[in-house]
Every structure is written in structure tokens, then in C-alpha cells.
Chain A
Amino acid sequence: MSKPIAGSSWIRNLQRNKWIYVMIMPGLLFILIYKYIPMYGLIISFQNYRPYKGIMGSDFVGFEHFQRLFTSPDFWMIFSNTLILFGLQLLIFFPIPIILALMLNELRSEKYKRGIQTLIYLPHFMSWVIVVSISFVIFTVDGGLINGALESMGFQRINFLLSESWFRPMYILQVIWREAGWGTIIFLAAIAGVDPQLYEAAKMDGANRLRQMFSITLPSIKPVIVVLLILKIGDVLELGFEHVYLLLNATNRQVAEIFDTYVYVSGILQGQFSYSTAVGFFKGFVGLILVMGANWLAKKYGEEGIY
């Protein structure tokens, strides 16, 4: 990368670095075609969109759909459900891959470590349908494994699947089971990049493994953790439609309905594309604010941030 030349025109800069720009072209094109151009469709959230009339032919209605969303009696329920699930993801799920990666790093046998890594990646490749079906079989009241065990130990059966209070634990446990192993990849890579001289120096100073972990490994991968945290926050409202929809039922709707499932029922199923888009728009907006906030906070505390 060349240093910016003071006072020179950007054309000269462009000429000098033209191959670099050519090289980033495919990436830029990808983002343009698949991320930016489709945003044109957001227009329909201000329209009374009718599929057969097209975007050009539909009538504009201004903020009507947003009004309908914010005045909907379910809005706050959905909003808070979404945020709570997000909070659980952040507080409970997010640290687990880090801890796992640190633990894997302490394993001495390389073979054993690789074996474990492969095993914990596996659940990631199962679809949510399978994960939820498996837990259905395990947790059902009629002949489920867990309830059978509870009963044989003299406890009451618990209806895990049809209960408001069990939805969130079930949700987060399934997320951990499926994603925790996969999440370790980046952290392991970051740990592998830590300068071995630091450990050697620490050993000389008499630091034990635990001390090394807290004083060298963790501080070294902190920038990675911060970046991933910010990215995670960007996905705030991507809680997995499929997953939540599969867990959703009449008894847990009060805690389980999130924006995605709400859009599916009141939007897609009824062909109300404009309303669905308005909700999606709002969702994206909240995500944007959170990312910018997190980035600002990270910078304020002296970290790199993502931009």
C-alpha cells in the first residue's frame, strides 16, 4: 500500500494503484450486486405493494406500514422477545467458544486435540429441523428420555416443550450444542498466531499455564474477540427464523415470537410483502444502530473496531 501523497489528485493515486483496485473488483461487484442493488426493493415498504402490479405500478402509502407495526399490540412483546434472545446469545453463548478454544489450546496431544475439534464441529452441519426433532424426542412427555429419567428418580414430569418458562433455556442450549464448536475456529486461529516468544519469556519468569492464559493468550486475542463481538451484534436480529419457528407453539408464543416469525405469519403467509418489508427494514435499522454503538464503545476503550 502506498502512502497517500499530499496534495496530489486522486487520479494519480488511481493510476498508481490501478492493479490493486482491479484486484478488489470481484469483491466489490459481489457486494454491489447481491447487497446494494437488492436494497432497491426496500421501496415497497412505503407502498401498498401488489405483486402483479410490480414496484413501479404500486401505490405509495408513506409510513402506513411502519405505523401499523409500531401501534400493533404485539410490537413490544416481539421487540423485547427479540432483544432478550439476543441478550442470551451475547451473554451466554458468545463466551463459550472462547472458553472452548482456550481449553483446546491447553491440550498437549495434538492428535487428541484434532479429534475433539472434528467432533465438536459436526453439529454445525445438522439443520435446525434435525436438532429440534432430536430434542423433541429427548424432551417429550410421552416416553421422552429426560422425562423418563426424571420419573424414575421420583421427580415430577416436566413438559419442556409446552411451557413458557422452558423456551429460552431450550433455545440457548440448542444454539450452544450446534454452534459452540464451530465458533472456536476463528479463536483457535487467533491463538495460533500469538508470538511463541511471549510464552517463552513468561515461562522464564515463572508463569504457570493459567497465568500464561490470562496474561498472554487472552490479551493477544482481545482484538479478535472485540471484532467478532461487534459483528455478532450486527447480527442482533438474525436469531434464526427456522430455529425459532420450529420451537414456536401456542403455549410459548408470548416469549418466543420474534420479528422473523411474526413477519412470516402476518406477512409472507398472507402475501403482505410491504408490511413484511417494513418490519425487516426496522430490524435492519436496529441492527445498524447497535453495530455503530458497539463500534463506538470499542474505540472509546482503545480497541480497533471494524471501521
Chain B
Amino acid sequence: MKRTWIISVLAASMMISACSSGNGQSGGTNAPSTNGEGNPAPEPPTKISWVTPLHHAEVPDSRIEELIEEKLNVDLEIQYIPAATWNDRINAAMATGNLTDIVSMTITGGNREAIRDEQFWEIEPYLDQFENLKKLKPEILDNTRIDGKLYALYQGRPFSRQGLIYRKDWADKLGLSAPANLDELYEMLKQFTENDPDGNGQQDTFGLADRGDLVSGAFNTVASWNGVPNEWGEQDGKLAPAFMFPEYMETMNFFRKIRENGYINADFPVTSKTDQQNLIINGRAGAYIGCMCDVQSLYTGASQLNPDAELDVHNRVVGPSGEFTVLSGPGFNHPYLFPKSAVQTEEELLKVLAFMDSLMTPEIANLLYWGVEGEHYNVVDGHAVPVSDQGKLDREVKPYNPLEVGEPTTSGRLEGKFDYAPAQKAIELFADNEPHVVQNPTLTLDSDTMTQHKERLAQIITDATYNYILGEMDEAGFNNAVERWKSEGGSRMIEEFNEAYDQLKS
């Protein structure tokens, strides 16, 4: 007994000393060093740190980074975080005060509270000083506003890239044309499954390859064709979530039917994007609904296994209403924000913004997006044509793409042109989608409940939707889930959004 006491006293005294020395040290290393090294050069390079998501397996070759540093006289420190762990890592960085000068981050959930709490610079007053930044599209900047204030720059994205990619050779063989409405789509999926489109005498193909992602997989796109609003829509003058619209139920029925009949991979709720794409590539499935931009990589894979495989893209599929509507994104990728913890003075902010401004010159924009001319791309008729070595592009250029500011129309970056015709067509169809997009009306509206419980509440509906499609749940069961959603915070969310919506309208 006595011995234990001695040990614990010893332990306690050591803890105290360890604590105090530990604190002393960590206190001193807080301030980020922003002054340049003692460089004899006339103007030392500005140090700029940037944390950005990495959508590829490896951190890129640093050549383009070095070129930019040289051209703009900056000292760039880019921190890459794998896109899959993006959100939690940003949260952790915010918790430990380790944010960089420029942070690519989402502006939903807890981040919104931090922004509202003045942790980031409001940049509206400064934008006019910058020749390029002031060209950014106001309608997209507006989508990033919080309480009407502007904190973020953006990388532009086409509003909607959603559409259908299908096996053209299969469709031709079966005498099918691109589906103009949902019934024709159903027919296509059915025939792809039942009528042996690959002609090997076996019933070993099926219609739609989908993955466990309602939002960027097939479901939300088909829903938007069917007339379901984008997340939220107006019903009798009030905002209501998409799943309360009868069209949502119809869309679920559509999926339930194609699954019952085996026109879709039965395991789709647990299928990954890679497995989904492999189903198209190895010729088991004939249709893919999602980003039409995927046609290039799907074709690259499929043509290696089967040189006769032909793909095509298609966007206009209409629902019962007869009017074409399609899901839309907010028009930007990750917004760029400037935390006050890293950018401490107005002077520093102006330097960082000047850097962002220079990224919007055609020269730098092309470098970030297409790489080095003559090596990664060639200019043909005023368009950039990337070289065919996809591996090289993935290694040296692609990971820099999420650093782009603006879009071709504002930065003067070259538009792309693809040798592969369907990929080129896909770009044209993005533009064709644009007048028909359905925006999410709650994008700039605020709801505390949404901020706090978004994921948990969304999960109730996502689960119910899958269970309904899989036939594990009937309509009453789905309605119970909706009631549960309401009682666990959904009703409050509806009220809060409507309040904000009414304020906006008045």
C-alpha cells in the first residue's frame, strides 16, 4: 500500500513539471513566421501557404509549383489533403489553429459558424482594387455569401454536368435511340438487360451501373429529370424538402422497379465509384448516369478491353411534365477563404489577394489547369488539347486544378478540346444544360438546425430511400421515416428556412 502512495506522489510531481514545461514551449511557437529570410535579392518572395484537397493518389511533381513561384516571385507552400478526409482534417486544423493563408473549404455546417464569428477576412471591400478578381461572376459569388457578406473567391464549375453515358454500339444493335424521356430510358435499361446487346448468346449484361451515392450517383439526376426540386423546392409558396414532393416517390418507384427486374446492379448501395465504372468498362452494364465528364475515362478503360466499344453522352431526358429540368451545382468548386489566424494584417491580406489576382491571368491559369504548353497540351484553333498520356497529366498537372481561380470566361484560360468526340460533346451539353438547371434555393439561406444536424437528418432520409428502393420498406415505412426526420429537427429546419426565405423575398 505504502509503495503505491510513493509512486503516485512521484507521478503527480512529475506531471506538474511536465505540464509546465510543455505549456511554456507550445506557447512560444504560436505565431507563424511571415517575414522572409534574410535574402539579399531586392524583393524577397512573398510566403504563401495554401491547403487544398488532393483528388489523386499522389502529391504532384513540383515543377508547375516552381514555375509559378518563379513567375510571381512567391514562396508557395501547398499542403495536400486527400479529398476523402477533407472535412475532418479542416475541422482539426481549425481546432488547432493550423490554418494556412488560403484555405479551400466548404462553407456549410460548423465552418459557417466560424465564418460568421469573423474568423475569416471579409473581402468585398478589397476586390475592386484587383483587375482580375473584380471580373469574377457576381451570381456565383452571391452563392458563397453568408449573411449577405462576401468572404470567398471561387473556382468556377459548369452549373450542371449531369447526364447519361451509354453504350452507343449496344443501342445501335438493338435499334434504340438516345432516350428522350424516362419511359424510353426504362426501355433502354430493360433491353440492355434482356436482349443480349453484346451478342454473346448469354444473358450476362444489365442496364444501369450505379453506386452508393444518391447525390452524385444516378438517383438525384433521374429525380431532377422527373421534376423533383434540388434538395428544397417551393410547395404552395413554402419551401419544403425534395423528398416531400410526390415526384420523389415516383423516382424511388422507378429505381425500385429497375432493381426488382435486375436492370441495375443489385448491390448498388454498397458499390464504390471504381466498381461502378468497372461495370461499364468491362462491358457488364450499358448505362451510367452522373457527370458526363466521366465519358473520357470510361472510354479509355473500355476500349482497351474491347476495341469495338462505343460510348455516347446524352442530357435531355424529360419526365412526365414534358419539360426538361436538371440538377445543378452552385457553380463553384471549393471556395477559397482567408483565415485571420494566418493572414494577420490587412497588408498581408492584400498581398495574398494580389497573388490570387495573378492566378487569374491567362498565363498562370493555363499553367495551373493545362500544364506547360508543348509538353502537357497543345493549342489548336485557340483551344487546349491535352496530350494523350493520362498518367503524366495525373502526375504533373491534374492535382493543381483545384487551385484555379475563376473560370475561362473570367480568367482567359483556354477552353479544352478533346480528340474523343463524346468528351467534346459532353462539354457542349454542359452548356446545353445551363438554361434548364434547377438551383437549390436554400444555398444561401441559413438554418441553425441544418448547421447542427444536417448529416444525421440527411442519413434518416438516405437510409429510407435505399430501403424503399431495395423493397425493404413500403410507402408507409418511408412516410414514417419522414415523420421521424420532422420530429428530430426537420420541422424546425423547415420553419427556419422559410423564415429566411420570406426575409429574402421581401
Contact = CB atoms under 8 A, between A and B. Distances in A.
A251 interface: yes
Nearest to B214: A250
Contacts of B456: 265-266, 270
B114 interface: yes
B426 to A, nearest CB: 27
Contacts of A53: 117
Contact of B266 (A159, A250, A268): A159
Interface string B2-41: 1101110111001100110010000000000000000000
B94 interface: yes
Nearest to A273: B95
Contact of A29 (B2, B14, B109, B269): B14
B452 A251 contact: no
Chain A CB count within 10 A is highest, among B87, B88, B267, for B267
A55 to B, nearest CB: 10
Given A159-B267, A249-B269, A270-B110, A13 B18 contact: no
B18 A271 contact: no
A79 B19 CA distance: 36
A52 B14 contact: no
Given A37-B18, A50-B113, A50-B114, A269 B463 contact: no
B279 to A, nearest CB: 8
B208 to A, nearest CB: 12
Given A251-B269, A269-B455, A13 B2 contact: yes
Interface string B97-133: 1000000000001110110010100000000000000
Contacts of B9: 10
B467 A271 contact: no
B109 to A, nearest CB: 5
Contact of A250 (B341, B466, B488): B466
Contacts of B3: 4, 13
Given A10-B2, A37-B15, A268 B88 contact: yes
B270 A249 contact: yes
B212 interface: yes
B459 interface: yes
B18 A10 contact: no
B119 to A, nearest CB: 5
Nearest to B264: A142
Nearest to B11: A28
A51 B88 CA distance: 12
Contact of A33 (B18, B465, B470, B472): B18
Contact of A13 (B6, B97, B110, B117): B6
A87 B18 CA distance: 40
B417 interface: no
B270 A271 contact: no
Nearest to B484: A73
A271 B93 CA distance: 11
Given A50-B113, A51-B110, A250-B465, 4 more contacts: A4-B3, A251-B472, A270-B456, A271-B109
- Pick the 7 closest A-B CB pairs, nearest first: A271-B110, A250-B466, A51-B95, A250-B463, A51-B94, A266-B456, A141-B266
28 contacts: A4-B2, A10-B2, A13-B2, A14-B6, A14-B10, A25-B14, A28-B14, A33-B18, A37-B15, A37-B19, A50-B114, A50-B117, A52-B97, A73-B484, A73-B488, A140-B267, A142-B267, A161-B270, A251-B269, A251-B463, A251-B467, A265-B459, A266-B456, A269-B87, A269-B455, A270-B110, A270-B451, A272-B110
